[in-house]
Amino acid sequence: MSRMKAVQVSKPGGNFELVERPVPEPGRSQVRIKVEACGICHSDALVKEGLWPGLQYPRVPGHEIAGRIDAVGPDVTKWKPGQRVGVGWHGGHCFQCEPCRRGDFVLCQFGKITGITFDGGYADYVVVPAEAVAAMPDDLPADLAAPLLCAGITVYNSLRNAGARAGDLVAIQGIGGLGHLGIQYARQMGFRTVAIGRGGDKAALARKLGAHDYIDTSAAAPADALQKLGGARLVLATAPDAKSISALVDGLAPNGKLLVVGAAFEPLAVTPIQLLSQRRTVQGWPSGSAMDSEDTLHFSALSGVRPMIERYPLEKAADAYQQMISSKARFRVVLTMGG
């Protein structure tokens, strides 16, 4: 039986361990992917630190997987060995529950999560349910595609479904792993794009990514600055800081929407008056299905949206994770599998 390298966590709070394992075989309706690159996401801390209830160890993390179909199990008709594909956070669904019967697979009551319910992409090979697989365009290199499968899809899919129209003022809060992609997508979708960050030093980068305007929260109250520009139809909150997010509500235009994708645990502070007087809304958004991933990859290839990444070999997963978790990375960290 052939063997592969994988990086696993064997208990909550445990270290990353480089191990040899048998190459897994795809079962019914599953495919095996030869992993070429896997992004490291902040949510991998859920595996590392044991923050996901019921998670079974040892577990191989990783839900930003880019590679090629290597083998397919029985009943798989859509995929063939050699096809370039990606897999994100949404790792499959039951097809039977009420959200699934309505076609809303992301909200499946029995949904699987890549790298949490089953082993993920910190490995040479991964086996995933066929319905979790997205086709990847040929002109997108694997290391640049990987972060689009969680960070990318989350901002792309939330932005395109939030009701803003071409020319509307859309503000992106935070210029990090999610935000640096959000600015690019907002610009490429035809919105008047405003980046919101702390400090004047980020202005040049924000404009390079496509922002028409930059608001420095250390220089002025961001809500006032947004109102000076006419008010935001949409604020995409990407930095997980409840206080900074709450401070933007008064920057929304009439019928404006605060769209939250940065995963914070603290409550937002929003008064009913702030919402009802201007008919404002607050909405959250999870990532998306495999088809949404596929749309994200195609739009990115078409429009030139690319993540800024730092590459590490699989063997250096512990260093790579440290770079991510310390917020030093500019902006996404990607593991590459060199054979």
Binding interface with Zn ion (CB under 5 A): 41, 43, 93-94, 97, 100, 108, 150
3-state secondary structure of 123: strand
In whole angstroms, what is the distance from residue 170 CA to residue 155 CA?
12
Nearest-approach distance from CB 93 to Zn ion, in angstroms: 5
Closest to Zn ion by CB, 98 vs 224, is 98
Structure-token match 């160890």, residue found: 57
Closest to Zn ion by CB, 23 vs 263, is 263
Select from 336, 314, 332 the least CA-distant residue to 141: 336
Nearest-approach distance from CB 242 to Zn ion, in angstroms: 19
Phi (first) and psi of residue 18, to 5 degrees: -85, 120
Closest to Zn ion by CB, 43 vs 184, is 43
Burial of 221 (C-beta count, 10 Å sphere; 0-12/13-18/19+):
middle
Tokens encoding 277: 């007087």
Nearest-approach distance from CB 230 to Zn ion, in angstroms: 33
Nearest-approach distance from CB 327 to Zn ion, in angstroms: 15
Tokens encoding 245: 């997010």
Closest to Zn ion by CB, 21 vs 42, is 42
Specify whether the CB–CB gap between 91 and 128 falls below 8 A: yes
Amino acid type, 159: L
3-state secondary structure of 24: coil
Closest to Zn ion by CB, 100 vs 130, is 100
Nearest-approach distance from CB 111 to Zn ion, in angstroms: 6
Nearest-approach distance from CB 123 to Zn ion, in angstroms: 17
CA 93-95-99 angle, to 5 degrees, is 85
Nearest-approach distance from CB 225 to Zn ion, in angstroms: 30
Closest to Zn ion by CB, 42 vs 160, is 42
Specify whether the CB–CB gap between 215 and 137 falls below 8 A: no
In whole angstroms, what is the distance from residue 122 CA to residue 178 CA?
21
Q: How many CA atoms within 13 Å lie on the side-chain side of 88?
A: 27
Closest to Zn ion by CB, 48 vs 93, is 93
